[in-house]
Amino acid sequence: MTAADLPPINASLNALAGVLLMAGIVAIKREAKKAHGLLMGAAFTVSCIFLICYVAHKILVHGVHTPFAGTGVWRPIYYVMLISHIILAMAVPPLAIVTMRHALAGRYDAHRRLSKLTFPVWLYVSVTGVLVYFFLYRWFAAH
């Protein structure tokens, strides 16, 4: 496996995490608590695998970031998205862990309250992670 193999894998993992998050929300809205727990656990697992692959990519490229080749209006759009993605991505692991700990401990009121923050942040990070990939490697790839 080379560094070039990891960005599409990472985007796929982000997309899968987003799908699992959405399925988890549908499950809890339908009061399928066991399915909800399994889907959210799967989303967390996929996000952890993403993090391992992301760090591996950074190690393989010696920390060098991929330059954004877009111009005009696309540059501020990309960088606003990227900066918000990075900042919120740092919040997801502690938010997800604390939210899940509340559920596992049976503190469902606390779980529900915190999930109202955790879910949209985590979903935003998953979706923008996929968008960052497309901006860098598909739509505005440096040649």
pLDDT of residue 143: 66
Domain ranges across the chain = 3-139
CA distance linking residue 122 with residue 46, whole number of Å = 12
Q: What is the mean pLDDT of residues 100-116?
A: 97
What does DSSP assign to residue 66? P
Q: What token pair was written down for 56?
A: 């591996």
CA distance linking residue 72 with residue 30, whole number of Å = 45
Q: What is the mean pLDDT of residues 107-129?
A: 97
CA distance linking residue 127 with residue 101, whole number of Å = 24
pLDDT of residue 5: 82
Q: What is the pLDDT of residues 15-42, one digit of tens each?
A: 999 999 999 999 999 999 999 999 999 9
8 Å CB contact between 10 and 49? no
pLDDT of residue 103: 96
Ramachandran quadrant class, 77 (left: phi over 0; alpha: psi -120 to 50; beta: rest): alpha
pLDDT(51) > 90: yes
Q: What is the pLDDT of residues 60-80, one digit of tens each?
A: 888 778 889 999 999 999 999
pLDDT(4) > 90: no
